Structure 1
Amino acid sequence: MIESVSKRAFGGSSGTYNVHALELAAARERKSKTLGVTVKFLDDSERVFRLEKRAKGSDLLERVFDHLELIEKDYFGLRCCDNDSQCLSCMRWLDPSKLVKKQLGTRQHVLYFRVKFYVSDPSKLQEEYTRYQFYLQLRRDILEGKLHLPPSTAILLASYTVQSELGDYQPEEHEVNYLSDMCLIPNQTEDLERKITELHKLHKGQSPADAEFNFLDHAKRLEMYGVELHKARDNTDREIRLGVTHSGLVVFQNNVRINVFSWSKIMKISFKRKQFFIQLRREPSESYDTLLGFNMETYRSSKTLWKSSVEHHTFFRLHSPRARRRFPFSLGSKFSYSGRTEYQTLAEARRRSGLERKFVRSSSRNLSSPAIRSSTVEDKTKCTRTSGSYAHKVTSLDTKEPKKAWTEDTRIPDEDSCYADKPAEGPFSPGIAGRIMSYADDEEAPASPTSNGLYDTPPYSPSHSPATARSPADVDAVTVAIRPDADGKYGFNVKGGDGAEAAVLVSRVAPGTPAGESVPRLTEGDRLLRINGKDVSRARHEEVVELIQEARRSDSGKLVLVVKPSAYQAYEGDFEEPPYQYVPVGGAEPPSPGNALQQSMLLLADGLASGALIAQYETLFRKHPDLTSNESLKADNVNKNRYRDILPYDTTRVVLKTVDNGSDYINANFIDMSISNTDVTNRYIATQGPLSTTVEEFWSMVLQEDSNLIVMLTTLIEKGRSKCHKYWPDLDGILTLKDIIVKCVKEEIDQSESFVFRDFVVVDVKDNVSKEIKHMQYVAWPDHGVPDSPVEFLAFTERVRANRAEGSPVVVHCSAGIGRTGVMVLMETALCLMEAGEPVYPLEIVKTMREQRAMMIQNASQYRFVCESVFAAYEDKVNEKAES
């Protein structure tokens, strides 16, 4: 301490430097030149970002994406509020091209990280972390009341949330009220929690990533998935809501979807003041353009809808954003989407795939108070259960493909799907598998939609159109190397190549197979350019299959594919309605006996909302691996088979005894379906439609097995192809065979002209014995596909049941004797089980049938239809009981 200072000290020159004051001033200056923005994330965490005052929205977005380490970042955006309000209807997206400061409110700088573009299929997302962010968004949509869903689906999705957070159900750990602390669905009650628990038990073995993938896979089927509604009025001044989605514009009235305009049908999108317009593509039969107008609430809401439409069309439909020409004196909005498209996003994700990253999942308790809600929404999201202690957090590595719902092995092990041995007819995606290739009575693939290009909706870039064959020197091509698994299969199917200019596309990739786990990953819709160095961009389907088979037969088995990635699916028309299904799982606790049927129907309804039935159906064997069909392959019998691939098992085939030509063969199998806990067994003979050379054998079989009823589920000719030879005479006519005479004594057509009922008298000439036989033909079943609704089909099935003779087998045939025939057998079996109060498990019924005749219920659409019919029949019975 200085106690004295000399006078000299104050003499001469001197100076001072105020460090503290200058630092405060500098800090104030720095603060005045920067902007603090708080971003709230989907897991309710938040972070403050300091930006320059002249920073644009793109600068903040990049800071946010870097903070999250997002690769597939273009699906997301930041939402801000108009007029400093937190009402959902006042939210708008941060514009990357404009200054952040001008877009924020005057008093608070708070933004919300949200999903902006809802991916059409979660299997497109390469990273587990991206799927997790989508999962958080959808959970929030449900709790905020934005995503409307039926109670059964809400319970199912909640069960996946529980599986993700708590893991497998453990009776000793998870007590009665173990869900009471978790906010899972709006208006949560103890009764709903019990139902969630029952489904939670079925998800044993699923990791957090598996459960979240299944959550997304089911949620995408919902009508309101990814739809942000805009209030409007139609030309009759009725209040409606318009929604923009990945596939086009959707119109709702009273929360019911009444129309869909896909992007491929829209020519132009425009707005003027408070009116929003779409111009539809002119159909070949029309001589005029269709212009539809909608009245919006305000000019701003009209422009907001227009901008959203422009962004969604560009993101989901174009190869790259279209450069907009600037004219100095142009009128109207100069807005255009300048970000990356989904195609570019997925291409970038493919190049950067394989990153392993660890992250922490948030608890459902954190989402019980969503950050954005109006007073109305707050009431919807309020949980009625109290908090507890089950707030587990789970870490995960993005290292494996998600496992499908209710299955322990997602590979498709049957030998007939063959993975690229036969073309598939539709794209396969988890939860809603594409229709597999049929051997007979197959469905036709839908025609590829076309699109075209005040906002014009331009067509896809030629380089991005899967219907246009191009040189293998395509840009953005990806090389995928695959080796076969232990069974010699690669795990994918192909389609196309049916014409000189038709490209060959990957139509299905099975999870858990080499193709499903390749890096980069092979995905549905990828266009094949080269196979092991050979150009296949214009090859026929048969040539592609042969090249794949050749690679399989080589010593290494290595298959090197050069593919053009497909970042999108072309949509035409309406969404596909989710199907019904119930999939039983071993080890699950059985429901109480008196409630077993109801429980099975509850899970069947869950399948309706989830779309899980197709994926589970396709895991079944098509032919039993331990059963042979040697008799059908003998030289004398080969020509008696209508289709070379549809052959009867030796163990259950019908052996003829009364034919004199020395052969006992006919393409037919016995099928016995026992009704649980009863002494009833429905007996069937499933057979092909007779050939002109096998009519005698067919009638000999009918007489030999003492059948009184023949059910025919096809017409004689379909689409110019013979499906069945006419094995009966016209009304009052006589068909004379070597040892049999057939007389038609009655023929009537029902009022709907869907069925024809006949009565025959069949005479065995050798024994001089006659027999009356009824013949029921379903003539309204479409040439390809399934009936339009279950109503007529159920009526036909009930009539079959009424005419069945006890102990006598019913002869059932279509063309091949497996597809429609299997549908009929399953439906009658299900009705008998319902009548006995027994649970109905359609998948188990299919398995039982296929153990007696190969490939029963031939394709996924048939299985979906019969499951829908089963549920419709159950609802009818419930309604009848309620009315009585």
Structure 2
Amino acid sequence: MIESVSRHVFSGSSGTYDVHALELAAARVRKLKGLDLTIHFLDDTEHVFHIEKRSKGSTLLDLVYQHLELVEKDYFGLQYPDAKAGSKTECMVWLDPSKALKKQLASLQTDLYFKVKFYVSDPSKLQQEYTRYQFYLQIKKDILEEKLILPPSTAILLASYMLQSEIGDYCPEEHDENYLSAFQLIPGQTLELEKKITELHKLHKGKLPADAEFHFLDHAKRIDMYGVDLHNALDNINKSIQLGVTHIGLVVFRNNIKLNTFSWSKIMKISFKRTQFFIQLRREPSEDYDTILVFNLETYRSAKTLWKSCVEHHTFFRLHSPKVKRKFPFSLGSKFFYSGRTEFQTVSDVQMRSRIEHKFVRSPSRQLIKSMVSVPSVDERGKPFIAPARPPRPYDNKVTSLGSKEPRKAWGADTQLPDDDGNFPTKPPDTPFSPDKIQNYVDDDIPSPSPNGLYDTPPYSASHSPISQIVDESSVTITLYPDEEGKYGFNVKGGTNKDTPILVMKVAPNTPADNCSPRLSEGDQILQINSKDMTNSTYEEAVRLIREARSLNGGKLVLQVKPNISYNGMNEYEEPPYQYVPIEDAQTVQSSNPLEQSMLLLADGLASGALVARYEMLYRKHPDLTCEESSKPKNVNKNRYRDILPYDSTRVVLKEGANGDYINANYVNMNINGTEILNKYIATQGPLMCTTEDFWQMILEERCSLIVMLTTLVERDKTKCHKYWPDMDDCLALSNVTVKCVEEETDPTGSFVFRDFVLTVNETNEERQIKHIQYVAWPDHGVPSNPDQFLSFTEKVRESRRIDGDVPVVVHCSAGIGRTGVLVLMETALCLMENDEPVYPLEIVKTMREQRAMMIQNASQYRFVCESVHAAYTKTISESKEDSR
């Protein structure tokens, strides 16, 4: 009755307002004005966000971050295909937070992809486990899509950590010999690689998913292509190259091989005009001119994209704040600048927050299943994915506190690294897990984008040198209790006098100092120990108070510390000031002589893996040195390897060469600190057939009397060096000289071959005696298993050098960088030890690489020579003790 009356009344009324119909119409209008945007996430899930079309990009980004509950959000961004790129290939661009969505997205149905935009230089900077998990997912995608090129050894190691994170511990009952057949972990996966992955997976037993992912990231960061935003370009001779933007600066690649690095501290300005991209480098004190490098890009848009990427990366990684003041607010040119938070702001913000355990479930990676390796279509992405069944684990893909359950160690201190050829030792490396270690470096001056696509980087000065900087923050109180072994897990240094502060030297993983909250960090200044003021105390007093605390009040140790924020992004240009020394040896290191102290640090660096980690951060080619002469058309065929070229500044120049003045060789001079000794070398490649005459002409002109050969002629069915000498009693006749072999002898072990040559100058009949020592025992694959034999060979070289020490020794292997560098470092270290001088291998490598690129070619060679140096020192100490008895 009421309903019928109501209808009658409203139908006859002359003043009707249809609320419901208007609400529906308004909703339809709002929906038409909005955007339904599909965001694809790194775990292959997707979500649709409805947002106003007039909204800015920052609004959409905030919705995405809220959806993920992401705290350290500034490392990430959204990418979408750029319809305005004008290129045949699809071009992905980053969503600009400061611009309206309707100005950026051409289609209402645009899909966007959540990705890592700024690759952190060290995963220990990431405070949240969930953030590290997102990085882990991104790098897995980069590997499978072959954006991140890996050497076989690294690929296998990373794959083993993927397995540990995905399926947990290796279980013989559950995992048969074919259990990897359902997984695609790395490109080009074969049965042989799967066997190696399995062997390493077995050794990760006890690692939580978070541990495995951290170690995955820690090894991935050392890869040349890690975190590189690549842009295709042409160099000054129109050869195709790629310019990569990273946290370090600009890196030049050709065919995925790193050629050069221009760090932010070396760059003064970057700019672009039309299709050209310009870099102005810092003027050295010895120069009276500016160095400007020019690169050509495909289009104006690609040049601007590269320039914007440089602006963003420099601002994010190097500045405190992105806020800038324009000098010319009404000028022409690009007004772009990075408007988000910097890494410094992100780290500071997260540090100030109380730690929140973000519970989340790890999604089984769809990329790992072979049948789903290819990127799924939009329809396929929405389908649920069912993970392979497996018994539940107590920590099954859940975030748990590392302090509540310490993962069992898979191996001890004798960790070894795999070599670059894929030759694996029995135990993989394990970098200490220290996610709370915050490191940063920022410029003091704030640059501003200038008109016409010009961006100024701050001028270089001593204040910008890459060293740790203590930030003035309020002190914090940290309370520790010793573990079962009575240790707190940290070491201290400083206090050599009353004015030197006591600093935390190192924090060992999974110890009270590592698991406490707030965490004790490397570089923290200790202000008080159990209420005792330490601002004017000595090192000995600090150690005494820490040891006394173990036996008092249940071992309670209360520290008042000033936190430190340090930056590790430029490690490739500096020697680490110290390595971790176990607390029981700290007193020994503090009071020992410099050589003994350096050997203790060397031994600890070998045991922890830190020594090799530092080496892998070192530049392979000096960023400021050119190799132009080697690239000239007339000289290209004289290089055995196209990417191993001599620096112009130190190359050997032939004075009377029959084929020109070029030879692939560099002078390498090694000063022995504390003495007047200068060991001179010529590091060169193994001669080719076409360069044999040039090689002997170099011997003649440089008056060399000793040749050291560190390779056989053929290894693994590949020619490593041309036979540039004659057989016994035969002669090799060349245009300027004649070479005769008058003696050849092999030592009883078959490891060395000694030859004597007579070099006769054809024009004058002058004769010279040349000694030739060849090391034939270096294995085809990897490095020698024992340093003793190599040490014996080095001593033979030193004995022969003493005959005529004023002329350079010619040293070569195949490329003239790997084994050649090992010998130079070894002999240099022995000379330093003889003169009671400290030995720092990384400093020696840097000195060599300033004279010839890539000396000591890979991590396995570096580790081997460091082990050899320590073995030589140990042998010397033992012999001294025997002599004193």
Tell me if 1:265 matches 2:260.
Answer: no
Tell me if 1:295 matches 2:323.
Answer: no
Shift of residue 244, structure 1, vs aligned partner: 0.4
Equivalence map 1:28-427=2 (5 Å): 28-83=28-83, 90-325=91-326, 327-366=328-367, 389=388, 394-400=396-402, 407-408=409-410
Question: CA 1:278 to 1:398, structure 2 compared with 1: closer, same or farther past 3 Å?
Answer: farther
Shift of residue 326, structure 1, vs aligned partner: 6.1
Shift of residue 99, structure 1, vs aligned partner: 0.7
Name whichever of 388-397 and 264-273 sits farther off.
388-397
Question: CA 1:190 to 1:752, structure 2 compared with 1: closer, same or farther past 3 Å?
Answer: closer
Name whichever of 174-183 and 295-304 sits farther off.
174-183
- 8 Å contact from structure 2 (residues 42, 134) kept in 1: yes
Q: Distance in 1 between matches of 2:599 and 2:241?
A: 55
Tell me if 1:791 matches 2:786.
Answer: no
Tell me if 1:479 matches 2:476.
Answer: yes
Matched residue type, 1:238: K
Q: SS of the counterpart of 1:359?
A: coil
Matched residue type, 1:364: S
Equivalence map 1:423-822=2 (5 Å): 431=431, 454-458=454-458, 474=472, 476-477=473-474, 479=476, 481-483=478-480, 485-486=482-483, 489-493=487-491, 508-524=506-522, 526=523, 528=525, 530-531=527-528, 543=538, 546-547=541-542, 549-554=544-549, 555=552, 556-566=556-566, 568-571=567-570, 718-720=672-674, 750-751=706-707, 778=798, 791-792=819-820, 814=834
Question: CA 1:346 to 1:87, structure 2 compared with 1: closer, same or farther past 3 Å?
Answer: farther
- 8 Å contact from structure 1 (residues 357, 398) kept in 2: no
Q: SS of the counterpart of 1:44?
A: coil
Question: CA 1:618 to 1:402, structure 2 compared with 1: closer, same or farther past 3 Å?
Answer: farther
Name whichever of 124-133 and 554-563 sits farther off.
554-563
Matched residue type, 1:521: R
Q: Distance in 2 between matches of 1:411 and 1:22?
A: 75
Question: CA 1:249 to 1:156, structure 2 compared with 1: closer, same or farther past 3 Å?
Answer: same
- 8 Å contact from structure 1 (residues 478, 564) kept in 2: no
Equivalence map 1:834-849=2 (5 Å): none
Matched residue type, 1:145: E
Question: CA 1:273 to 1:495, structure 2 compared with 1: closer, same or farther past 3 Å?
Answer: farther
Q: Distance in 2 between matches of 1:849 and 1:468?
A: 32
Q: Distance in 2 between matches of 1:793 and 1:240?
A: 28
Q: Distance in 1 between matches of 2:513 and 2:52?
A: 47
Matched residue type, 1:171: P
Question: CA 1:146 to 1:644, structure 2 compared with 1: closer, same or farther past 3 Å?
Answer: closer
Q: Distance in 2 between matches of 1:169 and 1:248?
A: 41
Q: Distance in 2 between matches of 1:717 and 1:141?
A: 44
Shift of residue 324, structure 1, vs aligned partner: 2.8
Superposed CA deviations along residues 792-833 of structure 1, whole A, max 9, x for unmatched, are 58779999xxxxxxxxxxxx9856799899xxxxxxxxxxxx
Q: SS of the counterpart of 1:516?
A: helix
- 8 Å contact from structure 1 (residues 353, 519) kept in 2: no
- 8 Å contact from structure 2 (residues 58, 98) kept in 1: yes
Question: CA 1:350 to 1:570, structure 2 compared with 1: closer, same or farther past 3 Å?
Answer: same
Question: CA 1:99 to 1:400, structure 2 compared with 1: closer, same or farther past 3 Å?
Answer: same
Question: CA 1:854 to 1:791, structure 2 compared with 1: closer, same or farther past 3 Å?
Answer: closer
Matched residue type, 1:316: F
Shift of residue 143, structure 1, vs aligned partner: 0.9
- 8 Å contact from structure 2 (residues 468, 565) kept in 1: no
Shift of residue 71, structure 1, vs aligned partner: 1.2
Q: SS of the counterpart of 1:161?
A: helix
Shift of residue 402, structure 1, vs aligned partner: 12
- 8 Å contact from structure 2 (residues 43, 365) kept in 1: no
Superposed CA deviations along residues 430-472 of structure 1, whole A, max 9, x for unmatched, are 73999xxxxxxxxxxxxx99998611112699999885877x8
Q: Distance in 1 between matches of 2:127 and 2:275?
A: 41
- 8 Å contact from structure 2 (residues 526, 561) kept in 1: yes
- 8 Å contact from structure 1 (residues 491, 516) kept in 2: yes
Shift of residue 363, structure 1, vs aligned partner: 1.4
Match of 1:670 in 2: none
Shift of residue 317, structure 1, vs aligned partner: 1.2
- 8 Å contact from structure 2 (residues 61, 78) kept in 1: yes
Matched residue type, 1:293: V
TM-score when normalising by structure 2: 0.58
- 8 Å contact from structure 1 (residues 36, 51) kept in 2: yes
Q: SS of the counterpart of 2:178?
A: coil
Superposed CA deviations along residues 590-649 of structure 1, whole A, max 9, x for unmatched, are xxxxxxxxxxxxxxxxxxxxxxxxx9x979999899xxx9xxxxxxxx99x99888999x
Superposed CA deviations along residues 767-794 of structure 1, whole A, max 9, x for unmatched, are xxxxxxx98574999xxxxx99663587
Matched residue type, 1:518: C
Shift of residue 138, structure 1, vs aligned partner: 0.2
Name whichever of 190-199 and 39-48 sits farther off.
190-199
- 8 Å contact from structure 1 (residues 296, 302) kept in 2: yes
- 8 Å contact from structure 1 (residues 169, 200) kept in 2: yes
- 8 Å contact from structure 2 (residues 366, 373) kept in 1: no
Q: Distance in 2 between matches of 1:846 and 1:622?
A: 25
- 8 Å contact from structure 2 (residues 320, 443) kept in 1: no
Match of 1:673 in 2: none
Segments of 5+ residues of structure 1 without an aligned counterpart are 379-385, 414-428, 435-447, 578-614, 630-637, 649-714, 724-747, 758-773, 782-786, 800-811, 822-840, 857-884
Identity over aligned residues, as a percent? 50
Question: CA 1:623 to 1:333, structure 2 compared with 1: closer, same or farther past 3 Å?
Answer: closer
Superposed CA deviations along residues 819-874 of structure 1, whole A, max 9, x for unmatched, are 899xxxxxxxxxxxxxxxxxxx9899999979998999xxxxxxxxxxxxxxxxxx
- 8 Å contact from structure 1 (residues 84, 106) kept in 2: no
Shift of residue 279, structure 1, vs aligned partner: 0.9
- 8 Å contact from structure 1 (residues 57, 94) kept in 2: yes
Shift of residue 91, structure 1, vs aligned partner: 0.5
Q: Distance in 1 between matches of 2:596 and 2:154?
A: 43
Q: Distance in 2 between matches of 1:3 and 1:402?
A: 67
How well do the aligned residues superpose, as a CA RMSD in angstroms? 5.8
Name whichever of 497-506 and 40-49 sits farther off.
497-506
Shift of residue 76, structure 1, vs aligned partner: 0.6
Superposed CA deviations along residues 265-311 of structure 1, whole A, max 9, x for unmatched, are 11111111111111111111111111111111111111111111111
- 8 Å contact from structure 1 (residues 548, 559) kept in 2: no
Q: Distance in 1 between matches of 2:330 and 2:10?
A: 72
Question: CA 1:493 to 1:285, structure 2 compared with 1: closer, same or farther past 3 Å?
Answer: farther
Superposed CA deviations along residues 39-89 of structure 1, whole A, max 9, x for unmatched, are 111001111122222211111111111111111111111111111999985
Question: CA 1:346 to 1:183, structure 2 compared with 1: closer, same or farther past 3 Å?
Answer: same
- 8 Å contact from structure 2 (residues 521, 564) kept in 1: no
- 8 Å contact from structure 2 (residues 249, 261) kept in 1: yes
- 8 Å contact from structure 1 (residues 261, 573) kept in 2: no
Question: CA 1:207 to 1:97, structure 2 compared with 1: closer, same or farther past 3 Å?
Answer: same
